[in-house]
Structure 1
Amino acid sequence: MTYIVTDDQQGSTVKTVLKHTLQVSSTTLSRLRRQEGGILRNGAPVRTIDTVSTGDVLEIALGDDAPMVGETCPLPVVYEDGALLVLDKPAGMAVHHSTLNPDTPTVEQVVLDMGLPFHVVNRLDKGTTGLMVVAKSGYIHSILQQKLHSGDFQRTYLAICDGCPSPLQGQINAPIGRKDGSAIARCVRDDGAVALSDYKVLSHHDDRSLVWLSPQTGRTHQLRVHMAHLGCPLTGDWLYGTENQSLITRPALHSATLTMTHPLTGERLVLEAALPEDMDRLIAQ
């Protein structure tokens, strides 16, 4: 990455410019210090304590040797450029490899097979479909991780639940922690971590509702736990509700929209992924 020092940064240290303007994390900064040619000023190595002048050209090594655009992706690509890859993840695909289920297909392997590094920004459960962002370098990943659950990285989900929440819209403020005796389940508990989710019922038919959800924090299984806490678990949620494979083979949750500020260009991106067929069918029943 190349950056030209502005008038108002005259006399600032290299560290100040990198951290406050380019949003380089402390971890990345430490790596750049150790890396030969990691930080250059006007083409020559420079220390982070050195100062800069107007017009100086700073260059930092992003740290990944992968090509900026990989091979053709076998998954639906919603957006791609030299910094980002946004996928529409299908159900039944895990994000990372697991020693417990080594044969499960993963997004990680798909991206690696494309010749790209794998820096996932927002993880989705194996059964959850929809928008998932992969950064093409550790630097971009670090910036986006800092923006999660802020106005620069907002996600909304569509879910189908059993029953109908009351009131029809509101915010769920219920702390989440590990469930005693379980290695994977979470629950609402007083000593849990702060967890906030906004919701709104979009439609209700028979015993099920279509619900819009927006997590304001990022706890494990947050939306699934919060909907179960309301007494309306997601349809098909084998862990927090009732499994019914004749209706759907997974928890009915879909990452539907993403509004984000591009970490390099500042462009406002608004991305969408259509409701998958298995959830669409549930609404129509």
Structure 2
Amino acid sequence: MAETYTVSDADVQKRIDKLLSEIVPDVSRSQVQTWIEQKLVSVNGKTIKANYKCQAGDNIVWATPEVEELTVEPENIPIDIVYEDADVIVVNKPKGMVVHPAAGHYSHTLVNALLYHCSDLSGINGVIRPGIVHRIDKDTSGLLVAAKNDAAHVSLSEQLANKDVERKYEAIVHGVLQHDTGLIDAPIGRDPNNRQKMAVVETGKSARTHFQVIHRYENFTHITCRLETGRTHQIRVHMNYIGYPLAGDPKYGPRKTLDVQGQALHARVLGFTHPASGKWLHFEAEPPEVFKKALAYVEKMP
């Protein structure tokens, strides 16, 4: 299906590959360049090159390629299983692991590992995301629950929607937070200036993050965050919004930061009602060594 866009004055002289990567959700600049090579993009009825500079009033037409039928293969990847029964499986995801396959990244994900370990995952989210009820970012470590059947999936999804799931994170942020506790209540949506990022925007979806200070250092603060909602990059966006970006965050934080292999964020606590038994389950996982070493480093900073 073809889509169109008319270039505004604000977009004049932008390269077309950059402009399309900004206005088309979840599409990278390299993907747009591939579309252009495949002659799936035209301007004013003519095919162009990726370095074409847009002019006011240009009529851009693009057609996204047909989605290939995909299969996700089980892979023998070690995973830290915290709890498992016939309905749910709780894992402590390592930093650097993607939760489920996506465009250009179909292997070495948590889903590939789960499929090898247990073939009975819920099918509600389809072939790419079997069992996945909620996600944590690639470079965020910590606890995540997956559903092993559709009934469990529905129950967990409803608990998430009703804000009945307990989710607490540990983080290291730049700056010294003055308030011991606080609530950030600010809507999150796609950043209008950079489609690869999220931001606090008036048209965004409701997002609420509670924070509490664990310890203050000279230039950093160790905090916990409790999520009421689960928006994409929520903690990272909210902490940056109030002026205390996460250490190590390549997308929302400063360039000069701690070497923690991505944002210093760990999903430490997870609690939910078991879909079958109705019992409350509560799990905790220590942050990884790279997180602990970063804390030891900031403690010794002059």
TM-score by length of 2: 0.67
Task: Please give the secondary structure, in 2, of the residue aligned with 1:119.
Answer: coil
Q: Does 1:112 align with 2:124?
A: no
Q: Quick check: 2:184–2:208 contact (8 Å CA) kept in 1?
A: yes
Contact 1:174 1:194 in 2 (8 A): yes
C-alpha contact (below 8 Å) 1:170/1:199 kept by paired residues: yes
Question: Is the CA contact 2:210–2:227 (under 8 Å) kept in the aligned structure 1?
Answer: yes
Runs of 4+ in 1 over 6 A off after TM superposition: 70-73
Q: Deviations over 1:153-187 (max 9, x none)?
A: 11100011111223221100111111014232011
Q: Residue 246 and residue 168 in structure 1: after superposition, are their counterparts in 2 closer, same or farther (change >3 A)?
A: closer
The aligned amino acid for 1:272 is E
Tell me if the contact between 1:236 and 1:249 (Cα under 8 Å) persists in the aligned partners. yes
TM-score by length of 1: 0.71
1:151 CA drift (Å): 6.0
- 1:143 partner letter: S
CA contact (8 A) 2:79 2:93 kept: yes
- Tell me the equivalent position of 2:98: 94
Stretches of structure 2 that go unaligned for 5 or more consecutive residues are 1-73, 122-129, 298-302
Other-structure match for 1:269 = 281
What does residue 137 of structure 1 align with?
149
Per-residue deviation, residues 58-77 of structure 1 (Å, max 9, x unmatched) = xxxxxxxxxxxx99972111
Q: Unaligned stretches of 5+ in structure 1?
A: 1-69
1:225 and 1:125 mapped to 2: Cα distance? 13
Between the aligned partners of 1:183 and 1:176, the Cα distance in structure 2 is 13
From 75, 78, 81, the counterpart of 1:77? 81
Which residue is equivalent to 1:59? none
Once superposed, what is the RMSD of the aligned Cα atoms? 2.1
Corresponding residue SS for 2:153: helix
Asked if structure 2 preserves the Cα contact closer than 8 Å seen for 1:259 and 1:271, the reply is: yes
**Who is 1:128 aligned against?**
140
1:177 and 2:168 matched: no
Q: Distance in 1 between matches of 2:141 and 2:169?
A: 10
What is the rounded CA distance, in whole Å, between the counterparts of 1:128 and 1:71 in structure 2?
Answer: 21
Deviations 1:182-224 (A, max 9, x none): 2320111122211111001110112111111011111111110
Q: Cα distance, 1:102 vs. partner?
A: 4.5
Q: Find the partner of 2:218 among 185, 206, 211.
A: 206
How much identity, in percent, do the aligned residues show? 35
Code of the residue aligned with 1:85 in structure 2: it is I
| 1:18-38 superposed Cα distances (whole Å, 9 cap, x missing partner) | xxxxxxxxxxxxxxxxxxxxx
Number of aligned residues: 215
Q: Is the 8 A contact 1:71 1:115 kept in 2?
A: no
